[in-house]
Chain A
């Protein structure tokens, strides 16, 4: 029983990441009709906002200690972070909470980057075939990756969660199942964080006038335009919003997986499968498929399952995609007419 509950939790937190990335992907596809292969790179950029913010907070004063030398004979450098020197305990607290605090940096950075990307590159490919959109966005992803690699190196850079959340939570006690079920605090936080972001995006689209116009534009772009609404500008903002969602998902994922320049690509392919299984252009479908595939992937990794079907953990997602598309060609919640012209 414990093993099953643990795999459900695993699937939910993994699914949370899939759902967040897929949500942004499908939002962009649903509004702009663009297949954005650079979306994984936006997740990676978010993760590096956390890395960059941490580096900023840990900028150090360097003094030379002539009494010590390095093994290669240079004088030893003694370093102290400015923030700690200036703010004392508050500075240490700020450094400790650098990952969640980096969200404040990631939101404007990702919003501006998303808008610039849409205005600078993506808009020129609206009326071009999907194959060209894929090529240009994939190329852009590689450029972003290489820039990050140049400045931050190829090594994963560990970003610890705040000290208070580094241990494990006794989930069994929390849900009244007695002792056991230890699960990392930060993964639980990530799960709640992803649910909150998903809820916020849905609320924005459902309950605000801006969101209503966007939804209307997704249904019938021309008619909304004829009503005198500048739908293109709103879609640009939606692109920025999708970038922010991917970015903050990346920021909060860093304590789970030390980020490197390639982390976005690792999620991108799976997220596309999630979008297709959920139904192209369906926001609810993307979220549902994200969690569903995350959970199925976790169960497929159980030793008991692999003993019956060896290697199933490697193919389960693609197997489910094939079955879903054979039975429901538009995906779980796909709308008629999307990518069917």
Chain B
């Protein structure tokens, strides 16, 4: 017969102690329960690996190199090194500069060569061989669409780099893809009224367009915006990516009757086409009784450096500019400038922010389990990262924030002072219904790779 006497007080005390003992590890290993649910490459060691997929060669190599610099800086800041960059200005305070969920951030990188197939190969390698839990970067929409689709299949979150096509978060949107950068539709909305005011409403436009997803949507958006102003579209000509010499495409513009040339080109293509358009005397021409004008809907400081004198006075749009005066921009510019001796480009900015946003989402979700991180990013409102209050819209994974209309500066005071911010277009003006571009995000089901 047993001598054990069970009292009511004893039972309660034992129960409380047992409950405490069982709950304690859960407190110290935050997210341990959620991590029982495994998705592709959820880290189990003491580091978490990011995959930076950037173009280090090809027409957009400059942007790629700046992106990689920004990512390296983001890794430093996430791990508590350096001055912290935008962490102190970020409205979310989940990141403490101690890695993510107690794990140090490590990274691998790959060269996308500004080619969709190479970008896919590189991303696949980083996921399958290097164990990257997130892929981020890129400077072309063709790359972004290809990698996004791959990441959806692999079940790995893709935080896009510089991609401006409407398709990225439109018809080709994916549950696993997230875009911080603005898009061609927003450029059209922002730029239309400004060039209407500058050049009038009776204009004839000729488009030269890079022949891939970004160029097509950029052309479509600019046509819609300028035709709304009353402009006529004389002709829209598609040009291959990376051809170098655009003379055979520019000479037909001379006798086309157009008085505005819209260059839907980016990176090295834009540098070449703009330089050559200026060489052919387009900006000195008088057509239909008006001065001939050139518009470049999307450009950056890096492209302005490449185009030299040709960029002066040219209107375009940008996602962000280092000369903005908000605390987030100041902190990032200071941090980047001290590290590399140059101000950051908009490509660098969007990539840095994307790295922080992913890290923050993991902290807030308490896990690296992809479906939970996706939930944390969807519908996330934040501020302090350089573009004012921003929403990561759940419907299409597109960020909505202020965008900029910029103009090539006529008299730059130094080699970094090339663009002038002419107007800040508020987020509400560039917000649109997610349904207009169609597409389907697809499922967020976890995959084990």
- Interface residue from A156, A184, A301, A314 paired with B306 (Cβ < 8 Å): A156
Let me know if A167 and B248 touch, CB within 8 A: no
Interface membership of B235, Cβ < 8 A = yes
- Which one of B237, B255, B279 contacts A2 once the chains associate, using CB atoms below 8 Å? B255
Residue B240 interfacial (CB < 8 Å):
yes
Does any Cβ of A come within 8 Å of B268's Cβ?
yes
Of all chain A residues, the one with the shortest Cβ separation from B65 is: A154
Asked if B61 is an interface residue, CB under 8 A from chain A, the answer is yes
Given A6-B254, A186-B279, the answer on whether A301 and B334 have CB atoms closer than 8 Å is no
Q: Which of A72, A149, A184 contacts B279 (CB 8 A)?
A: A184
Closest to A253 in B: B245
- Complex CA–CA separation, A142 to B252 (angstroms): 36
B309–A302 touching, CB < 8 Å: no
Contact, CB under 8 Å: A158 / B275: yes
Instruction: Judge if B145 is at the interface, Cβ distance under 8 Å.
Output: no
Q: Does B337 contact A (CB under 8 A)?
A: yes
Which residues does chain B contribute within 8 Å of A72, judged by CB atoms? 333-338, 343
Q: Are A303 and B306 in contact (CB under 8 A)?
A: no
- Do B284 and A314 touch across chains, with their CB atoms under 8 A apart? no
Known: A72-B336, A182-B280. A160 touches B309 (CB 8 A): yes
In the complex the two chains form, is A258's CB within 8 Å of B271's CB?
yes
Tell me how many residues of A have a C-beta within 8 Å of chain B: 46
Given contacts A184-B279, A184-B281, A266-B244, are A156 and B272 in contact (CB under 8 A)?
yes
Which residues of the partner chain A approach B284 to less than 8 Å between Cβ atoms?
167-168
Measured between beta carbons, the chain B residues less than 8 angstroms from A160 are 308-309
**Any A CB within 8 A of the CB of B276:** yes
Query: Contact string, A303-318, partner B, CB cutoff 8 A, digits 1/0?
Result: 1001000000110000
Question: Does B57 sit within 8 A of A, measured CB to CB?
Answer: yes
Cβ of B56 < 8 Å from any Cβ of A?
yes
- Interface residue B62 (Cβ < 8 Å from any Cβ of A): yes
Beta-carbon contacts under 8 Å, B300-352 to A: 302, 305-310, 322-323, 330, 333-338, 343
Q: Tell me the bound Cα distance from A263 to B308 in angstroms.
A: 18
Size of chain B's interface in residues, with CB distance under 8 A? 48
Residue B251 CB within 8 A of the other chain: yes
Please provide the chain A residues from 1 to 32 with a CB less than 8 Å away from any CB of chain B in the complex: 2-3, 6-7, 10-11, 13-14
In the assembled complex, A206 has its CB within 8 A of some CB on chain B: no
- Pick the contact of B251: A10, A70, A167, A306 (CB < 8 A): A10
Whether A71 lies near B333 (C-beta < 8 A) is yes
Q: Which residues of B contact A256 (CB under 8 A)?
A: 245, 276, 279
Q: Which residue of B lies closest to A303 (CB)?
A: B252
- Whether B251 and A155, one on each chain, are in contact in the complex, defined by CB atoms closer than 8 angstroms, is no
A268 to chain B: closest CB distance in Å? 12
Residue numbers in A under 8 Å from B245 (CB-CB): 14, 256-257
Q: Note all chain A residues with C-beta closer than 8 A to B255.
A: 2-3, 6
Nearest chain A CB to B294 CB, angstrom units: 15
| A182 touches which of B237, B281, B322 (Cβ 8 Å) | B281
Cα–Cα distance between A6 and B255 once the two chains are bound (Å): 10
A123 lies within 8 A of chain B by Cβ: no
Chain B CB within 8 A of A260 CB: yes
The reply on A199 being an interface residue by CB < 8 A is no
A120 part of interface (Cβ distance < 8 Å): no
Question: Would you call A303 and B237 a contact (CB within 8 A)?
Answer: yes
Binary CB contact string for chain A from 54 to 97 against chain B (1 if under 8 A, 0 otherwise): 00000000000000001111101000000000000000000000
Interface: A166 (CB within 8 A): yes
Query: B247 contacts the other chain (Cβ, under 8 Å)?
Result: yes
> Do residues B254 and A155 form an inter-chain contact, with CB atoms below 8 A?
no
Contact in complex: A154, B61 (CB < 8 Å)? yes
Would A158 and B235 be within 8 Å (CB), given that A167-B284, A258-B272 are in contact? no
Is A329 an interface residue, CB under 8 A from the partner?
no
| Given A71-B343, A74-B337, A258-B308, 10 extra CB contacts under 8 A | A6-B251, A14-B248, A71-B330, A182-B254, A184-B279, A187-B247, A260-B268, A262-B57, A266-B242, A266-B244
List residues of chain A with CB under 8 Å of any chain B CB.
2-3, 6-7, 10-11, 13-14, 70-74, 76, 149, 153-158, 160, 166-168, 182-184, 186-187, 255-258, 260, 262-263, 266, 297-298, 301-303, 306, 313-314
25 A–B contacts, CB within 8 A, in A order: A2-B255, A3-B252, A3-B255, A7-B248, A7-B251, A14-B248, A71-B333, A72-B335, A73-B338, A76-B414, A149-B57, A153-B62, A154-B65, A156-B272, A157-B306, A158-B308, A183-B280, A184-B279, A184-B281, A256-B245, A258-B306, A260-B268, A297-B248, A302-B248, A303-B235
